[in-house]
Chain A
């Protein structure tokens, strides 16, 4: 799982327990509706950050990534990444981007998806 990606930053902290990474939090203080398929992008870099925060902002710099992808690349459970990301969204360092269609989908979105898939 994302060995190359995680080795670059977890080298020193690969044995760190999830509850340390989240500083004891088991849920975000405010979750901002984050789901495993929420897309995040780095907006700004606040001053002092933990190594995992740095890794998150680095991975989301200039490109949007989902919580699930970040979790895989960082070698952390999704819940841990949700907690870290929610804090960073709270400080404005990360922005939730993209929009989700209504459950069940709308016709225009599915038509565009079909055209897009046929072009691949």
Chain B
């Protein structure tokens, strides 16, 4: 068999990874679909759950495997240099923490999608990213009509979100609105690198 196109010797693209976390039904798939150049794909990943303390195993095995459903999307950035950004939307429940470790390795940062009707659903994700010191932003996916929305300060209070973590609202169905969330996340990750040590956690 022949006829496969082979790669030319162009510069290697940089591969970057962004995470989208949040509770069930908060709009992760919609968000990924809004910004991705390919329609969002769902796949299964086999994850190790070694040494997991939140989910003790009945037997004495120290390592087990579980499959996790992931929403996956991609954005190609042509300029100023070629970058391929991967978006992984993944389950926000505590029992999947083990997979967050694997997924968050090397990630630029994370979007925690929140629904003001079920704010409690994103506590775990916030806690996880804070502890791992991975840059993250909280994006409130606005399901409610404007008159029923909560002011940002109220949401920040309810989440116990530190001042340095950006909190924005978005419409996960809208591409530019969702891209804005990614821009805010990137700017936030950048500010943490450029901030003097010790000022911003």
User: Are A68 and B84 in contact (CB-based, < 8 A)?
Assistant: no
Complex CA distance for A69 and B45, rounded to whole angstroms: 11
A42, A54, A97, A120: residue with the most chain B Cβ atoms closer than 10 Å:
A120
Partner of B72, one of A57, A68, A103: A68
* Total A-B residue contacts, Cβ distance less than 8 Å: 151
Q: Please determine whether A117 and B46 come into contact, CB atoms closer than 8 angstroms.
A: no
A77 touching B67 by the CB < 8 A rule? yes
The answer to whether B83 and A112 touch across the interface, beta carbons within 8 angstroms, is yes
Pairwise interchain contact B15-A37, C-beta atoms closer than 8 A? yes
Question: A98 is contacted by which of B12, B79, B88, B190 (Cβ under 8 Å)?
Answer: B12
* A61 and B111 alpha carbons, distance in the complex (Å): 32
Residue B13 contacts which of A64, A106, A117 (CB distance < 8 angstroms)? A64
Whether B6 contacts A44 by the Cβ 8 Å rule is yes
Within 8 A of A (CB), among B27-42: 38, 41-42
Give the one of A100, A103, A104, A115 with max B CB within 10 A.
Answer: A104
- In contact, B72 and A69 (Cβ under 8 angstroms): yes
Answer whether A110 and B186 are a contact pair too, CB < 8 Å, given A39-B13, A64-B13, A78-B46.
yes
Number of contacting residues on B, CB 8 A? Answer: 48
Is the C-beta of B85 less than 8 angstroms from some C-beta in chain A?
Answer: yes
List residues of A (46-73) whose CB comes within 8 Å of B's CBs. 47, 49, 54, 57-58, 61-62, 64, 66, 68-69, 71-73
Residues in B with CB closer than 8 Å to A78 are: 43-46
Q: Does B158 contact A (CB under 8 A)?
A: no
Given the complex, which residues of B lie within 8 Å of A42, measured CB to CB? 4-7
